[in-house]
């Protein structure tokens, strides 16, 4: 038995030895036959443009294309704007991983670099429509690079400088504007307080007047009155505009603005001023937001910005506007500049997110439809098209609206004040909401790559979330829009006169009747689309008027009645803004011909039908039937498919330099290769 067992064991050992001898060593394993992904650029997955990309870009930018390209080239040629170089591409972006202190210092250096290259020439010393548009173009380019850069410069030029320009008079202009433009002083804007933001009229800082010394005395009477979120105050600002209640002879004359120095030329905080840092934020960490307290700080009488009201050396309050409400309205009117600038910036950031996500979706593949078939491009999935191309259509339409708003504001007259207030309020809210929604959808559409800060789409959400409450909370702004529309409507009814309000002239005609049968040609008809959005706006305004009037009839005060009708009010504000966007897009489209006009028509139809498809108002109030709504829903999908061949040319027409997009918009395989890990 022992001999048999030994023989069996020997045979087994021999078999195992032969088996192991056939396994190659690791160094001999070949990978040559294994398939590897190779980057294929979006251009290889797109046909030739059917329209002139340069002409489309000029439409989207609206003005000063040459100046924008000059700004981009300045950034390309200065290392302070460079993030990383991979291959032939140097990416232009701040490093969001740097410490807050480093980000703040670099932001200041970039502002000064722009100054040294003449980018701010005329920004506050030349008050013309052309200069406003020129400065806007430059700031839009800075915002494409970094929100902190545009906000840091914007606080100094638009808020501080704008306040001196519009709230002040010649004595202020002569003393402060040239120094502002040269940045020999650094200004900030102290309006928001710990206890009051949107409600400027309620701020608690108090200023009194001392006739003996002819000085104003500014005081922070309580902790809730500390100035909060003041951009530039934490480190760099030397002067500020202080918004304060003005008490003269024991009477509160309301909110006024004063120039106050907060640091000396050596950067030391002035006596009577206390400053604290607001600390780290979810975004905008290149801006040094601070908190400011004033302990009986004295400023010369001449530091009152006196375009609306003044105080004589003896201490007598004077104003040509006797009504306090009208005076406050006149005082606040120039602040619409901020809403206009924010609305435009929001559209440009949506462009960055979409350009990055769509280019990635035209080079990234996932899953096969059948065995042995190539993986499908992300943008060839209908679901991916609906996620991104609907937002692209909206962005195009909103770009037209923001350009129109800018030009109305640039050429404004005093008679335009109400129109600009209503338009800027509605569009600021609509466009900033759109931007954040777009950034979120693009983040998700890019999968895990959307989480990387350097790919931008995720970081943009954090950087621009603040826009939703900058210059007024969006929900409050929408209610301001509806309040203005309601006042004009009720006034017209009371006087039995035709309504004259922003975009409401059509309500003097009969209520339109919507055809029962929907077909593609009808749904894509521009006049039908205008009618649909007018019908929604009209219905909501009439419902709001009935709702408020009924509440007032029960003894509820008018203001409280309007407050209780906030749901209708907010929906009306959205309806107004979305209709304004359509009208602006149509104005642009109707000036074009040929294939360019055709593509703009596709974008317009997709924009409108998305708005209708996503708004519950049409079904909630019976403006459309469920079957009509279903047809519109199907038409949205069809339009996305038709727009797919135009996706890349439309992205290229947005005019965003490739280096300013996330790296996944370019050769993401090369960018992530091991050899570039330490690059």
Number of Cβ within a 10 Å radius of residue 37:
9
Q: Which residues contact 319 (CB under 8 A, 6 or more apart)?
A: 308, 309, 310, 327
Quick one: tokens of 164?
Answer: 């001196």
Q: Flag the least confident range among 16-20, 235-239, 394-398, 596-600.
A: 16-20
Query: pLDDT-based confidence at 476, cuts 50/70/90?
Result: very high
Residue 421: name the closest of 549, 319, 541, 573 by CA. 573
Quick one: tokens of 540?
Answer: 């909501």
Quick one: tokens of 95?
Answer: 């490093």
Return the DSSP state at 263. Answer: B
State in Å, rounded, how far the first CA of the chain is from the last one. Answer: 70
Q: What is the pLDDT of residue 372?
A: 84
Instruction: Tell me, rounded to whole angstroms, the distance of Cα 2 from its chain centroid.
Output: 88
Q: What is the pLDDT of residue 14?
A: 59
CA of 190: how far to CAs of 142, 161, 168, 171, 222, in Å?
A: 24, 13, 16, 21, 16
Quick one: tokens of 592?
Answer: 């074009």
Q: Residue 47 pLDDT > 80, yes or no?
A: yes
Q: What is the pLDDT of residue 16?
A: 44
Q: Residue 679 pLDDT > 70, yes or no?
A: no
Quick one: tokens of 309?
Answer: 């009201």
CA distance 359 to 362: 5
Contact 477, 429 (CB under 8 A): yes
Query: pLDDT-based confidence at 480, cuts 50/70/90?
Result: very high
Mean pLDDT of the chain: 93
**Mean pLDDT, rounded, for 390-394:** 98
Query: pLDDT-based confidence at 36, cuts 50/70/90?
Result: confident
**Mean pLDDT, rounded, for 396-410:** 97
Q: Residue 375 pLDDT > 50, yes or no?
A: yes
Q: What is the dihedral of CA 400, 403, 407, 409, to 10 degrees?
A: 110
**Could you give the angle at the alpha carbon of 548 between the alpha carbons of 545 and 553, nearest 5°?**
120
Q: Residue 531 pLDDT > 60, yes or no?
A: yes
Q: Flag the least confident range among 280-289, 299-308, 371-380.
A: 371-380
**Domains of the chain as residue ranges with CATH:** 186-323 (2.40.110.10), 336-491+516-660 (1.20.140.10)
CA distance 464 to 392: 18
Residue 231 labeled ligand binder: yes
Contact 520, 605 (CB under 8 A): no
Return the DSSP state at 370. Answer: S
Q: Is 115 exposed, middle or buried (0-12, 13-18, 19+ CB in 10 A)?
A: middle
Q: Residue 17 pLDDT > 80, yes or no?
A: no
Number of Cβ within a 10 Å radius of residue 488:
19
Q: What is the pLDDT of residue 20?
A: 44
Q: What is the pLDDT of residue 7?
A: 56
pLDDT digits (tens, 9 = 90+) for 186-198: 999 999 999 999 8
* Better-predicted residue by pLDDT, 403 or 14: 403
CB hemisphere CA count around 263 (13 angstroms): 18
Residue 192 labeled ligand binder: yes
Active site residues: 471
pTM of the model as a whole = 0.93
Residue-level length of the chain? 679
Quick one: tokens of 262?
Answer: 């907060």
Quick one: tokens of 151?
Answer: 């906000």
Please report which residue ranges of 333-416 form alpha helices under DSSP H: 336-361, 382-410
Taking every pair of Cα atoms in the chain, the longest distance, rounded to a whole number of angstroms, is 129
Q: What is the dihedral of CA 559, 562, 564, 570, to 10 degrees?
A: -140
Q: What is the pLDDT of residue 414?
A: 85
CA distance 160 to 177: 10
CA of 636: how far to CAs of 391, 512, 529, 538, 578, in Å?
A: 12, 23, 14, 24, 17
**Mean pLDDT, rounded, for 641-665:** 97
Kindly tell me the sign of the dihedral angle through the C-alpha atoms of 260, 265, 270, 276.
Answer: positive
pLDDT digits (tens, 9 = 90+) for 601-649: 999 999 999 999 999 999 999 999 999 999 999 999 999 999 999 999 9
* Better-predicted residue by pLDDT, 19 or 464: 464
């Amino acid at each position: 038995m022992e001999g048999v067992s030994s023989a069996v064991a020997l045979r087994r050992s021999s078999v195992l030895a032969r088996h192991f001898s056939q396994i190659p060593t690791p160094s001999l394993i070949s990978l040559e036959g294994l398939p590897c992904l190779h980057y294929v650029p979006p251009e290889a997955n797109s046909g030739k443009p059917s329209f002139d990309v340069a002409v489309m870009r000029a439409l989207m930018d609206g003005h000063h294309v040459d100046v924008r390209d000059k700004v981009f080239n300045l950034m390309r040629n200065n290392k302070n704007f460079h993030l990383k170089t991979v291959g032939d591409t140097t990416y232009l972006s701040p490093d969001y991983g740097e410490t807050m202190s480093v980000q703040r210092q670099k932001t200041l250096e970039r502002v000064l670099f722009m100054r040294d290259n003449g980018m701010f020439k005329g920004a506050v010393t030349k008050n013309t429509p052309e200069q406003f548009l020129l400065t806007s173009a430059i700031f839009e380019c800075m915002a494409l690079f970094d929100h902190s850069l545009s906000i840091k410069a914007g606080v100094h030029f638009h808020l501080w400088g704008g306040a001196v320009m519009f709230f002040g008079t010649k004595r202020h202009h002569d003393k402060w504007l040239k120094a502002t433009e040269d940045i020999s002083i650094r200004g900030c804007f102290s309006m928001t307080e710990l206890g009051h933001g949107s409600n400027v009229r309620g701020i608690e800082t108090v200023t009194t007047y001392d006739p003996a010394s002819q000085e104003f005395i500014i005081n922070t009477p309580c902790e809730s009155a500390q100035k909060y979120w003041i951009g530039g105050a934490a480190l760099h600002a030397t002067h500020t505009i202080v918004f304060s209640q003005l008490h003269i002879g024991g009477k509160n004359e309301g909110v006024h603005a004063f120039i106050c120095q907060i640091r000396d030329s050596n950067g030391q905080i002035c006596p009577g001023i206390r400053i604290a840092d607001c600390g780290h934020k979810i975004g905008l960490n290149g801006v040094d937001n601070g908190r400011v307290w004033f302990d009986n700080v004295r400023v010369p009488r001449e530091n009152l910005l006196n375009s609306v009201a003044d105080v004589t050396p003896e201490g007598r309050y004077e104003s040509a506007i006797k009504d306090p409400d009208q005076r406050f309205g006149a005082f606040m009117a120039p602040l619409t500049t901020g809403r206009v600038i924010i609305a435009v910036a929001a559209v440009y950031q949506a462009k960055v997110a979409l350009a990055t996500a769509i280019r990635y979706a035209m080079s990234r593949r996932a899953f096969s439809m059948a065995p042995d078939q190539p993986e499908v491009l992300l943008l060839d999935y209908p679901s991916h098209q609906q996620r991104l191309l609907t937002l692209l259509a909206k962005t195009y339409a909103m770009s037209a609206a923001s350009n129109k708003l800018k030009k109305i504001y640039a050429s404004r007259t005093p008679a335009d004040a109400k129109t600009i207030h209503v338009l800027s309020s509605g569009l600021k809210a609509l466009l900033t909401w759109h931007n954040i929604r777009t950034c979120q959808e693009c983040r998700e559409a890019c999968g895990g790559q959307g989480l990387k800060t350097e790919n931008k789409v995720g970081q943009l959400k954090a950087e621009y979330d603040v826009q939703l409450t900058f210059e007024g909370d969006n929900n409050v702004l929408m209610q301001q829009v509806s309040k203005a529309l309601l006042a004009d409507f009720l006034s017209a009814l009371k006087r039995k006169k035709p309504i004259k309000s922003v975009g409401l002239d059509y309500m003097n005609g009969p209520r339109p009747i919507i055809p029962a049968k929907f077909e593609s040609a009808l749904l894509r008809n521009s006049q039908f689309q205008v009618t649909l959005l007018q019908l929604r706006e009209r219905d909501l305004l009439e419902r709001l008027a009935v709702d408020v009037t009924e509440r007032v009839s029960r003894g509820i005060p008018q203001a409280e009645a309007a407050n209780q009708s906030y749901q209708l009010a907010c929906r009306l504000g959205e309806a107004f803004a979305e209709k304004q966007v359509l009208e602006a897009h149509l104005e642009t489209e109707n000036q074009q011909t040929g294939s360019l006009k055709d593509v703009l028509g596709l974008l317009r139809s997709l924009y409108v039908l998305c708005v209708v498809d996503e708004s519950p108002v049409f079904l909630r109030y019976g403006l459309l039937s469920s079957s009509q709504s279903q047809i519109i829903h199907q038409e949205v999908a069809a339009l996305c498919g038709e727009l797919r061949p135009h996706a890349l040319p439309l992205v290229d027409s947005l005019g965003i330099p490739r280096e300013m997009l996330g790296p996944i918009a370019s050769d993401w395989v090369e960018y992530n290769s091991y050899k570039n890990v330490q690059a």
